[in-house]
Amino acid sequence: MTLHTLDELLAEGVQGRYILVRSDLNVPLSGAEDGKQTVTDDGRLRASLPVIEKLAAAGARVLVLAHLGRPKGVPEQKYSLKPAVERLAELTEVSVSLADDVSGSAAQAAAAALQDGQVLVLQNVRFDPRETSKGDEERQELAAEFAALGGANAAFVDDAFGAVHRKHASVYDLAKTLPSYQGDLVRTELEVLQKLTENPERPYVVVLGGSKVSDKLAVIANLIGKADKILVGGGMLFTFLAAQGHSVGASLLEADQIDTVREYLAKAAAAGTEFLLPSDVVVAEKFAADAAHELVAADAIESSSFGAEGIGLDIGPETAKSFAEQILAAKTVFWNGPMGVFEFPAFAAGTKAVAQALADSSAFSVVGGGDSAAAVRTLGFAEDSFGHISTGGGASLEFLEGKELPGLDALQRD
């Protein structure tokens, strides 16, 4: 895969030119919809800044395109980029402003007034239904409007790996419309993911968590025969336990996936990939931060005093120790998904143990997925404790599934 780089663009010269940058500003917010919203995790904003600042420092007029949430093709206050842009402006010395619309008169006026070294963020691109349209002509029309904001000598930089799996106007069609380049985030993400999929140093250990096994099935299928060991925690572990014939009480269970999981366990055994499931779990009376809870064996969840009403909310300490030992013995580790409900302190120990093992490990380690990345920050770990914290989200998973990603395909040119 041959993609032109940001360094190539900078070498060509960007002084006075409009450079359109697709960034990932899709950050979590808190606050009432009719009140002031604030960013609760600015990791993606900080990750997006280096490319924006490089271009601004080189004298470019930077137009940033981004989305937040999943609006239905119309402006919605709760999905405005305003709080994200306000936080972005606090994190940099560069002049950053927000246009009042996506590509209309407000964006046109603001873009025309932009000076060298300044940054203008367009309003949430998903406020325009053409951004996500299935119709090629509609998406191309919006991409043409974006390109027109930059004039004759504009260029496009895709720095949002988390969106490259989408065939959207600001990702795919704009890359086809303007001379296009990969941003540093996209370049780094590609290098990391290729290292995970092309002859990883062994032992190669994958740690999978999160709520739904259905979200990870394609990744699991592609990792069988490639990973040496797959450690399973989080809500998805209960479908695995059920596939082994164990009762899981009121824990999260995808009953329709039991047969598939059972099939994968058999395939893994034949391919030499070992699945490690929890030996103990923390079971709670209810899903609440202050819920009464007990430690039980993973194959005897209903033996707790809560019986069939008990809900598994974290892996137990014996499992956490075992998982940590596997991580510390590995040469390559990929972690996607928390081990429990880490947002509740009483059920964060398993996730913290995995994060600590990764931080202590000398292996090439990758933390993938928004929840995992949020977890390490929430639990107080320094980001530089890990080999790489992915900003790719679903796109990274699709890459690991072996799928083609439209945004990357569009960046390829002669």
Q: Is 44 in the active site?
A: yes
**pLDDT tens column, 8-33:** 999 999 999 999 999 999 998 987 55
Q: Looking at the DSSP assignment, which residues form a beta bridge with residue 206? A: 230, 334
C-beta separation of 333 from 339 below 8 A: no
Give the tokens for residue 51.
Answer: 């490319």
The torsion region of residue 413 among left (phi > 0), alpha (psi -120 to 50) and beta comes to: beta
Helices then strands, each counted (H, E), the chain = 15, 17
Q: For 27-183, where are the alpha helices, taking DSSP H only?
A: 43-57, 82-90, 105-113, 136-150, 174-177
Q: What angle do CA 217, 221, 224 make, to 5 degrees?
A: 135
How far is 236 from 6, CA to CA, in rounded Å? 39
CA–CA distance, 28 with 374 (Å, rounded to integer): 10
Instruction: Select which of 212, 267, 286, 331 is catalytic.
Output: 212
Is the N-terminal amide bond of 406 cis, ω within 30° of 0?
Answer: no
Catalytic residue from among 235, 337, 368, 370: 370
Q: Per residue in 354-393, is it b (16+ CB within 10 Å) or e — as a string?
A: bbbbbbebebbbbbbbbbbbbbbebeebeeebbbbbbbbb
Q: Establish whether 371 is an annotated binding residue.
A: yes
Q: What is the pLDDT of residues 354-371, one digit of tens each?
A: 999 999 999 999 988 667
Same CATH fold assignment for domains 2-185 and 192-401:
yes
369 annotated as belonging to a binding site for a ligand: yes
The pLDDT of residue 283: 98
Supply the CATH classification number for the domain 2-185.
3.40.50.1260
Known binding residue 86? Answer is: no
| E strand or H helix at 367 | strand 364-368
Predicted structure pTM score: 0.84
Cα 262 to Cα 245: distance, rounded to the nearest angstrom: 10
- Distances from the Cα of 10 to the Cα of 2, 16, 17, 170, 189, angstroms: 18, 12, 11, 21, 20
Is 17 known to be catalytic?
no
How far apart (Å, rounded) are the C-alpha atoms in residues 359 and 379? Answer: 12
181 pairs with which residues across the strands? Answer: 157
State yes or no: is 340 an active-site residue.
no
Domain boundaries, the chain: 2-185, 192-401
**Cα–Cα distance for residue pair 248/281, rounded to 1 Å:** 10
Distance CA(77)–CA(145), nearest Å, equals 23
Q: Tell me whether residue 312 is annotated as binding.
A: yes
Q: How far apart are the first and last CA of the chain?
A: 11
> Comparing C-alpha atoms, which of 38, 37, 41, 55 is closest to residue 92?
55
Given 176, 195, 377, 394, which residue is catalytic?
A: 394
Q: Which of 17, 44, 87, 167 is catalytic?
A: 44
Annotation-wise, does 343 bind a ligand?
Answer: yes
The Cα 224–Cα 217 span in angstroms is: 11
Query: Can 104 be counted among the known catalytic residues?
Result: no
Q: Is 17 annotated as belonging to a binding site? A: no
Residue type, 386: F
Q: Is 25 annotated as a binding residue?
A: yes
SS3 for 404?
coil
> Looking up tokens 């690991």, which residue turns up?
400
Give dist(CA 390, CA 366) in Å, integer.
7
Is-cis flag, bond preceding 203, omega within 30?
Answer: yes
Question: Strand order of the sheet with strand 61-65?
Answer: 96-98, 119-121, 61-65, 18-22, 155-158, 180-182
Q: Report the CATH number of the 192-401 domain.
A: 3.40.50.1260
Q: Which residues of the chain carry a pLDDT beneath 70?
A: 1, 32-35, 369-370, 414
| E strands in 248-292 | 274-276, 280-284
